[in-house]
Amino acid sequence: MSLGILGPPTSGPAVYVAGILNGTNATQIGYSSTIAKLSDKKLYPNFVRTVSSDKAQSRHLVELVRRLEWSYIILVNTDDPYGRDGTEEFKQLAKKFGICVKAQYELPIASNKAAEIIDKIYINELPYARNNTMGAVYFGQLSKAKDLLLAISLKAPRGSDIKRLHWIMSDGVGTEIAEYISSRGLQDTTKGLLTLSIAQQHLSDFKKYLTEKVNRVARGTATALDYAINPWIGDYVSEKLKCDLSKSSVRNHGVYCDTINMQNIADAYSQGDYLTNILDAVYIFAVALKRAHRDKCGTGTTGMCTPLQNIGQQNFLEYVKNTSFSYTDLDSTFVPREFQLFQRHISFDRNGDLVVESSNASYFINNYQNGKFVHVGEVRDNTVHLDLNNVVMYDERNSELRGATLPPSACKGTCSSCINQFKPETEFAYIPGDIIITGMFSVHWDTRDHYQCGSYRNYTAGYLSLEAFLFAIEYAREHIHPSIGALLFDDCYSQVRSNYIITNFYNSRTDVLKVQSDGQRIPSDKVAAIVGSLASTVTLSIADILRPLGLPQISYGSTSTYLDSKQRYPYFLRTVPSDDIQTKAMVELIKHLGYNYVSTINTDGDYGRTGVEAFKKYAHQKICIAHSLEVSSSAASTSNVMYQVVDTITKTAQAGIIVFFGDDHKVKQLLEAMKFIDTNTRRVKGKFIIIGSEAWGDDPGVIRGYEDIVRGSFTFKIDTPLNLRSDFEAYVTKKTPNSSNNTPWFREFWQDHFKCNLPNGFDNKVGLPFCDTSKVLRKADVITRDPWVDHAIYSTLAAATGVKAALQELCPSQPNNICSAYFQNPDKVVVNFKQVELSSPGQAKYKPFNVEGNGDIGYKIFNLQQKTPGEIEYSQVFSVSGTGMLTPLGNDPIFYDDIGREQKFTSVCPPNQTECSKCNIYAVMATGGTPMQEERTTRIMLYYVSIPMCSVLFIIVVVYIVYTACKRRKGKKSVDEKANGHLNTAFAASGNIDGSADTVRWPEPPIRPLPDPPIPVDQSEQSSGYMYADDRLKALPEALRLVMLQQNSALRRIHKPDAELGSVFDVESSFSTYAPVSCSSKRDTSFDPGSGSGSSHTCICDSAGLTACRQLSLNSHSDRDSPHTSWDCHSSSPRCGSGISYQTSECPSHTRYCHRHAHRDSSATSPTYSQVVNGMLREMKSPAISPGEHSSGSIADVSSFNNSNSLHDDSPLSAKSFGKDVSWSQKGSSCPVLTPSPSDVPRNYLHFKNPHYTNGHITDNRPVVPSPTKMQIENPSSNSESGETIAGTFI
């Protein structure tokens, strides 16, 4: 009868055979096939084995890596089932224990790619490991391991690098590679290698049996039976002893076997890694057969009986599977002595895998030392037993390393690939309970895609607020309800991410929230309330999701007025007051101080926008707002916009108060911008103070480095009526990185707080030391003025107390669990929440919510006062009630000048300020105010006396201006009517199909280069920053003005533009006299802009021209186009008569306007025609004039200057310039003659980039996206006196 199959030896063929045998009931016993899938009895019911599954081996390999404290490794595997499946199992376990697999390489069985892979490892992986040393784990066949070791010895880039890579190899390699190492001389390459091998017992009887048999074969005295039993014995002896069996055979080794003595044969003996398991398989067949014989043939019988012969394979398979015996129960005559000595026991588990007794080792850990493998540890009872002092490895200098000096394998810096390996789709912390309170906190910043988390957020309401939530949960479990649990998320300051988390949780995404210990999903029907979030934008997005679910939500930091709507958010509560109260108090503060002129800055989220909107509501007809500007709330946004905003505000010096509504990280950007601008302009210190919202609070870290900027400013801070700080501090200071109850984010907090790198981390900061393992958190480390810590505790305790009260009312029969009535009656649940009272021993009870569900508390107002130079203290000067009532505390505010001396401060609208007249605020200034108000009353009343007198004069001027304008525009069609009639067409051409002016955004403001960082130009209407005069721009309808800005985004941008003499000038550096200039000049024929030589132009001007040039010299202290330009005028030259002359020695640099001297050197570039001719005209690419074109020679980007220093032949040579002819002579033989009069200056002309006047149209050659239609003005109306084109229809 056939008992079954023993083998095959490797996993791949074993799987193949087991698949074939499925359904045949034939028995298969494996002795070295360890692949995990063979444990699946549904697929392989006939298979049992005398070795453990690779699941066990992978677990032990991971544990070995952990014992070595390797956290950053590479994997190499063979491409067969054994290598691939074992590696995948290893990776899953490594991830669980925080071991990063930096890279994985696969060796094909069919080809030798070892050298290529080794090169990649040394070049691509080692440089990113700490100390350039790295651990590698190999899971694969013995043959490919040989290739690897040989490649390492041959292909390592430098000899010392061989020791930078430290290997652990699986049981497929074991100790059987030792012979190959010796034969190839790889001892130095291999020393330090660690391997895992199946635990074996040394069998002396087998060694005696085998060496005697080998000796007979070698001597040629083997019997026929020897060869009959094993036909391959001759090949084994020849290969093992490296000899030839007979003198007549082909000589492969050069040595005859009969010359080898018995001692050499004994020395060549090696038991192998699977002998014990092979013998176990043989004895299993024997024991199963013996029991089947007893059952079928009866006790005491011998030989084959018919029932046994007909037993069938199925029945015998069951005997094999149920085999369980100890070698001590067998006849010692037929059993190796060692098996009985160590009481070896054999049985299978339900998967057919060998059960190893806890007293026996299942694996050996081997270390290659001094030319051989040494047994340094073992796996027993599923635990790695290893003394690291017995393990030897070597560094690149070949020095021996043991124990604590064993080489590391860790990430060198920040290893993003590793961080991503361990960061789950949704990171969370979970405390089991029957009643779950969910917390949403902002541990990290948002990112551009808003789904992922950015960098660690070490600002207020950061990680300590999250720990405050956990502290409150622990407190609630002890004092409020023992069944309370918690679920904690990092919303990363992103409304998109918070939506993603909540919706996935309630959509039962089973792959999102699973408990690691048991893989079970966290039940959403146990969540009774949600605490969070900080940012109003995030809280609003969560509230929109929770409203249909009827779940109560309590925020510890969201103050936006949007959340006041109980119709939209009926189940929302917060322990902090609404910004409506804060802004009301801000207005009262400004009035109390006697001020009425401010600017506002807000961030672009719901918090900043609603805060400023509420401020404007209360400020109406009481406080005038000079500027109201907005910046991005994103942490990733640059500081440029903040610089622009501050630059704009600080130019309006009378509005000395800046009301700031934004997050604390934006406060630092604001202070940085103010400090920089003050350093360059001296227009901040002593002239501006800030009133900061509660997000600033009294955090000393925000103002560090900006003490001289914030002197005299005010900040708001939310009250904290219940003090639980001491208990919280005691809770947090017990925690260390090794605490079992840590969150996934605690390591980041620890590293950021102590400014160090924890061992085996993947977010190491370059330049920081490793954390001292003896470090502990002290009370001083967690003391914070951050009010959000307190309110996180209040919100969590209020949620726990409210849930308990609601369960007692709605679920009286099961108050320790949530019943359906809790979710069916959300209105009753919220009522219970609003009635919550909190208390602490020795403190009065505190009711956190008012009737609207907002925080029933007020604010503290601090004045930043200078104690000593450079030392600023938050000094409380006012308190604010929960209704917004302002109460002085007797500590008067102090204000400072630019050097820190106390001074009086004012921020009052002067009566002649245009913006202030719109505010209509003077009627509210009455007597009977505070002393600060009365102090300014006299000065304000002086304004009233002057107003009537000024009004009369103002009316006369207005009447004159209107009369003049009507005369000039007689018969002209209405600009507004013509422009607005075709507004939708213009918007459609620009992509704004709805035609709404509100959808048009102003273009990105230009930035004027200053020392780093840049400061933007003024954006007020008075100086628009574009190449047209301001009067016409302001006269246009708003919608048309926006169209012009959008469609003509390529307009030349100039700081404070003005039009002089038909050109465009900069107001700051042009002269104010509109004197006509008449100039003629002969060009020096030797002048060559590219030659590097000097040359001069001799220009003769009349007296008016001389006056103009002199004025230009006075006003042009610096020319931003060319810092080397000089403006020098002389009248002494005989050649010029009464005019002026420019001499080479007197004008060493480029000088512009109608007279020019150009001195060239080898480093200078060729001047364009515009530089030579157009004076203060902004430099463009060689402007030219087209016939009839209304551009006055100043706009068109047409190349007009070639290497012969003349106009192109095809360039137009004359132009109609607003009624006056301007002639330019050809070939540049002379300077241009410009003879416009002051009345002809086109101050209001709208310029295009490439204008062409064709058939009554002014067109811009630049295509309009998305329409290819040119920008045109159809049927332009013009002024008959000046020839100026004014308006028309946009096409």
- pLDDT (tens digit per residue) in 520-540: 778 888 999 999 899 899 999
Q: What is the pLDDT of residues 318-331, one digit of tens each?
A: 999 999 999 999 98
- Which of 116-120, 433-437, 838-842 is least confident? 838-842
Q: What is the pLDDT of residues 882-933, one digit of tens each?
A: 999 999 998 899 999 999 999 999 999 877 666 666 665 533 332 233 333 3
Q: What is the pLDDT of residues 1081-1114, one digit of tens each?
A: 322 222 223 333 333 333 333 333 443 333 333 3
pLDDT value at residue 951: 62
Residue 574 pLDDT greater than 70, yes or no: yes
| Amino acid of residue 679 | T
- Name the pairing type of β-strands 1015-1016 and 1007-1008: antiparallel
Rounded Cα–Cα distance for residues 1157 and 1153 (Å): 10
Q: Which residue has the higher pLDDT, 1217 or 600?
A: 600
pLDDT value at residue 419: 72
Q: What is the pLDDT of residues 192-222, one digit of tens each?
A: 999 999 999 889 989 999 999 999 999 989 9
Other beta carbons within 10 Å of 1234: 23
The token pair at 467 is: 């720990």
List of residues 6+ apart from 946 with CB closer than 8 A: 911
pLDDT value at residue 197: 94
Closest CA to 832 of 794, 803, 793: 803
Q: With bands split at pLDDT 50, 70 and 90, how would you rate the model's confidence at 779?
A: confident
Q: With bands split at pLDDT 50, 70 and 90, how would you rate the model's confidence at 34?
A: very high
Residue 1261 pLDDT greater than 60, yes or no: no
The half-sphere exposure of 410 on its side-chain side, counting CA atoms within 13 A, is 19
353 touches 39 (CB < 8 A): yes
Residue 174 pLDDT greater than 80, yes or no: yes
782 touches 749 (CB < 8 A): no
Rounded Cα–Cα distance for residues 380 and 384 (Å): 7
Q: What percent of the chain has pLDDT over 70?
A: 68
Residue 5 pLDDT greater than 90, yes or no: yes
Q: What is the pLDDT of residues 281-315, one digit of tens each?
A: 999 999 999 999 999 898 888 888 888 888 876 78
1276 touches 1258 (CB < 8 A): yes
pLDDT value at residue 313: 67
Residue 701 pLDDT greater than 50, yes or no: yes
Q: What percent of the chain has pLDDT over 90?
A: 41
SS3 865: strand
pLDDT value at residue 1287: 44
pLDDT value at residue 963: 62
Q: What is the pLDDT of residues 363-397, one digit of tens each?
A: 999 999 999 999 999 999 889 999 999 999 998 88
Instruction: Supply the pTM of this predicted model.
Output: 0.56
Rounded Cα–Cα distance for residues 269 and 796 (Å): 72
Q: What is the pLDDT of residues 672-700, one digit of tens each?
A: 999 999 998 888 999 999 999 998 989 88
* Average pLDDT over every residue of 458-485: 90
Closest CA to 606 of 549, 542, 698, 548: 542
pLDDT value at residue 1288: 44
Q: Which residue has the higher pLDDT, 1232 or 18?
A: 18
Rounded Cα–Cα distance for residues 889 and 880 (Å): 10
Q: With bands split at pLDDT 50, 70 and 90, how would you rate the model's confidence at 418?
A: confident
* Average pLDDT over every residue of 773-787: 79
Helices (H), 121-232: 142-155, 178-184, 187-190, 204-219, 224-229
SS3 757: strand
972 touches 1286 (CB < 8 A): yes
pLDDT value at residue 213: 93
Q: With bands split at pLDDT 50, 70 and 90, how would you rate the model's confidence at 584?
A: very high
* Average pLDDT over every residue of 158-178: 84
Q: What is the pLDDT of residues 1065-1081, one digit of tens each?
A: 333 322 222 222 233 33
Residue 82 pLDDT greater than 90, yes or no: yes
Residue 615 pLDDT greater than 50, yes or no: yes
49 touches 346 (CB < 8 A): no
909 touches 921 (CB < 8 A): yes
pLDDT value at residue 471: 95
- Name the pairing type of β-strands 1271-1278 and 1285-1290: antiparallel
pLDDT value at residue 1028: 34
* Average pLDDT over every residue of 1204-1217: 30
Cα dihedral angle (177, 180, 185, 191), rounded to 10 degrees?
Answer: 0
Closest CA to 923 of 1250, 711, 621, 1161: 621
Cα distance between the two ends of the chain: 100
Ramachandran quadrant class, 836 (left: phi over 0; alpha: psi -120 to 50; beta: rest): beta
Type and span of the H or E element at 675: helix 664-681
Q: What is the pLDDT of residues 979-1026, one digit of tens each?
A: 333 323 322 333 332 332 232 232 333 333 323 332 232 322 222 233
| Amino acid of residue 1219 | G
pLDDT value at residue 486: 94
- Which of 6-10, 868-872, 1264-1268 is least confident? 1264-1268
The half-sphere exposure of 964 on its side-chain side, counting CA atoms within 13 A, is 7
Rounded Cα–Cα distance for residues 129 and 776 (Å): 28
List of residues 6+ apart from 615 with CB closer than 8 A: 583, 586, 587, 600, 659, 661
Q: Which residue has the higher pLDDT, 1128 or 871?
A: 871
Cα dihedral angle (217, 220, 225, 226), rounded to 10 degrees?
Answer: 0
Residue 1153 pLDDT greater than 60, yes or no: no
> Average pLDDT of the chain?
74
pLDDT value at residue 142: 94
Q: What does each C-alpha distance from 12 to 17, 34, 142, 301, 544 come to in angstroms?
A: 9, 10, 14, 42, 56
